[in-house]
């Protein structure tokens, strides 16, 4: 092709954004102190389903709630 500029390819040049993303980030310090001090402050909620076999009520989904303070389900 005529009229196109000849570009030189520099093999080991990394742009600033790529260099920033590839830097090793320090992790957060672990916290051994329990920050939950009462029931129902932190819950884990999960919806499971559809199941192949329905339960006695005919439902195919299960709704699970776990309280992290009391460890009850």
Task: State residue 61's pLDDT score.
Answer: 93
Q: What are phi and psi of 16, to 5 degrees?
A: -60, -40
Q: Which residue has the higher pLDDT, 26 or 60?
A: 60
Task: State residue 6's pLDDT score.
Answer: 73
pTM, to two decimals: 0.48
Mean pLDDT across 1-25: 71
Mean pLDDT across 9-16: 70
Where are the chain's structural domains?
36-73
Task: State residue 9's pLDDT score.
Answer: 66
Mean pLDDT across 17-41: 79
Among the listed residues 59, 42, 60, the one whose alpha carbon sits nearest the alpha carbon of residue 51: 60
37, 60 Cβ separation under 8 angstroms: no
């Amino acid at each position: 092709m005529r009229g196109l500029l000849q570009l030189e390819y520099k093999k080991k040049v990394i742009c600033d954004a790529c260099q920033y993303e590839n830097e090793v980030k320090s992790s957060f310090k672990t916290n051994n102190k329990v920050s939950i001090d009462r029931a129902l402050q932190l819950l884990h909620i999960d919806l499971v389903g559809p199941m192949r076999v329905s339960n006695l009520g005919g439902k195919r989904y299960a709704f699970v709630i776990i309280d992290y303070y009391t460890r009850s389900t």
